[in-house]
Amino acid sequence: MQARRAARELAFILFSQFEKSVAKYSKEDLNDIILKSVRVLTDSANSDLKLSLGKLVDFKNKMVDYEAEHEINLNRPMDASNIPVPLPKTSDMIERIDEITDVAEKALLALEIAEFTTLDSQSDVKDYAIRIVEEFQSHGAEVDDVIKKHSKNWDIERLVKMDKDILRIAIIELLYIQDAPMKVVVDEALELAKKYSTDDSYSFINGILAKVIAENGLA
Distances (CA, A) of 103 to 44, 167, 198: 11, 25, 18
The mean pLDDT value for 165-193 works out to 94
Give the structural domain span for 89.
Answer: 3-215
201 neighbors 193 (Cβ within 8 angstroms): yes
pLDDT, tens digit, for every residue of 96-112? 788 777 777 767 666 66
Confidence of residue 139 (pLDDT cuts 50, 70, 90): very high
Instruction: Express each pLDDT in 180-198 by its tens digit.
Output: 899 999 999 998 998 888 8
CATH at residue 36: 1.10.940.10
- Domain count across the chain: 1
Query: For 2-59, what is each residue's pLDDT tens digit?
Result: 778 878 888 888 888 776 667 677 888 888 887 777 777 777 777 777 777 787 888 8
Q: Let me know: does 174 contact 216? Beta carbons within 8 Å.
A: yes
